[in-house]
Amino acid sequence: MKIKWPIRSFNKYAFLTYQKRLIEQHYNFLTCSIQDNVLSCLGWVQPSGCKDKYKVKIEYVTGFEPRSTILFPKIDPCKEIHMYNDHSLCLHYPKDMPWNERIKVAYYTIPWVIEWVIFYELYLINGNEWKGRESPTHFKESEKNINKDKGL
């Protein structure tokens, strides 16, 4: 029988520290810090073959889907590119994988951000047609990933 331990406020920091260590082990382009129970990672990414460098920010609150944002270059948000009005990215369909504290940001979110950048550059090249995977139901502003602890 598998026991599921509840998240308590005293162990949120342990989960965040674990996530931070994994990210730092795998991605040297990100600088991470933990403040007020939020893991924030900031850095520049330029996938191989991409024209531009992108400044990204990933904010993670234990147990919730991380919020990933493109800070630079300025990109006008629209449904076609899977970006919310606050410049955060739509990377994940919750019904495919309900997010919990055990899902590793380093293994999912960061590769998804890199993939998003690649698809965005393809979008610009091929006449504004998104070639990336899409959820069965298109996202809505009200469904964006909001980190509930901090209201991010």
Mind listing the pLDDT tens digit for each residue in 93-145? Answer: 777 788 888 899 999 999 999 999 999 999 999 999 988 876 555 555 555 55
Question: Has residue 13 been placed in a domain?
Answer: yes
**pTM higher than the cut 0.75:** yes
150 domain-assigned: no
Cα separation, 149 vs 73, whole angstroms: 28
By residue range, what is the domain housing residue 42?
9-143
Residues 6+ apart with CB under 8 A from 89: 68, 69, 70, 82, 83, 112, 113, 116
Q: What angle do CA 137, 54, 98 make, to 5 degrees?
A: 35
Whether residue 2 is contained in a domain is answered as no
In a domain, 109, yes or no: yes
In a domain, 152, yes or no: no
Number of domains in the chain: 1
Say if 4 falls within a structural domain. no
The string of pLDDT tens digits covering residues 50-75 is 999 999 999 999 989 999 999 999 99
CATH number of the domain bearing residue 124 = 3.10.110
